[in-house]
Chains A and B, each alone.
Chain A
């Protein structure tokens, strides 16, 4: 029982309930803790430990993702108007920079909000995201998509990851960047 019960999560659920009804009626106030308790009992989360939150980095991550979302929508619209049915895409393998479930999941979700991409598959054991990237036509663009996903991961890990991962994530990302790579190790086939 106690292991299932997480106070911050309980607080969050109560808050969501109150926001949903947007009124301080007694019924709402009484039902909020009951609903929250019910949800916690019926749907226990596998992870007990709450993520480490670093507010400043988290805010910067949110800002970054919002900007990304706008660019994303604009670029996607351009693909629609410019290419339509003649659009091209690629599936790119990108190393996962974290070993924490919630960070991997969050990063995957954030990638989906960034320009032209979504995570097609997470290979948890092998530590690889397979990212579907729209609007990719050349090997350089494949590399750029690869590095963009890494960038976002660095931000996510630094904002939400456990301290030991956050400390050296930049360094680990630096080793796998393809930025300025003259010959990528896997040259993709040219589009015909």
Chain B
């Protein structure tokens, strides 16, 4: 029992630390695309760790639910990042001083500023 408690505590705390770092990134990073990174990476890992910590401790019948949460987080977070990132880039809502290279801007210039077609 004590082993499970310890494992659960360790997972929960590590997860919480990653969530905190993600939140710190939101505050410290300068523009939307960089903030998205902070919102997706450490947050996702943090949530997965918290879920794992919970899964160690709860009754087994709740574990499938936790698995679903993890699965949908992993599936949806990238989609969200992509949609917001694209919107931010298209509307020019980013600090150009952050970028050391930009292949997409070159491409768009070649095409006279018209965005390329793309699915989703």
Chain A residues engaging chain B, CB cutoff 8 angstroms: 16, 18-20, 22-23, 69-70, 72-73, 76-77, 79-81, 84-85, 87-93, 101, 105, 108-113, 115-116, 118-126, 128, 130, 132, 134, 136-139, 142, 186, 188-191
Contacts and interface: CB of A to CB of B under 8 A. Distances in A.
B22 to A, nearest CB: 8
Given A19-B65, A113-B74, 11 more contacts: A73-B22, A73-B46, A80-B24, A87-B30, A92-B101, A92-B103, A118-B37, A122-B118, A122-B120, A123-B116, A188-B100
A111 B78 CA distance: 8
B21 interface: yes
Interface string B41-69: 11011101000000000000110110110
A137 B65 contact: no
Contacts of A124: 117-119
Contacts of B44: 69, 73, 113
A191 B102 CA distance: 12
Contact of A87 (B29, B42, B46): B29
Interface of B: 18, 21-22, 24-25, 28-30, 33-34, 36-38, 40-42, 44-46, 48, 61-62, 64-65, 67-68, 74-75, 77-79, 81-82, 85-86, 89, 98-107, 116-120
A89 B33 contact: yes
Contacts of B107: 93, 123, 128, 130
23 contacts: A19-B64, A22-B64, A73-B42, A76-B21, A76-B41, A77-B21, A80-B21, A80-B29, A80-B38, A85-B28, A87-B34, A89-B98, A91-B89, A108-B82, A116-B41, A120-B82, A120-B85, A121-B104, A122-B119, A132-B85, A134-B33, A138-B100, A142-B100
A190 B100 contact: yes
The prevalent SS among residues of B at the interface is helix
A132 B99 CA distance: 9
Given A91-B105, A108-B78, A101 B86 contact: no
Contacts of A189: 100-101
Nearest to A112: B78
A99 B114 CA distance: 24
Contacts of B34: 87, 89, 134
A22 B25 contact: no
Nearest to B89: A120
Contacts of B81: 112, 118
A115 B77 CA distance: 14
Contact of B119 (A72, A85, A90, A101): A101
Interface centre among A73, A134, A138 (most CB of B within 10 A): A73
Contacts of B118: 121-124
10 smallest A-B Cβ distances: which pairs?
A: A188-B101, A112-B78, A93-B103, A84-B28, A73-B45, A19-B64, A77-B21, A90-B101, A109-B78, A80-B25
Contact of A91 (B77, B101, B120): B101
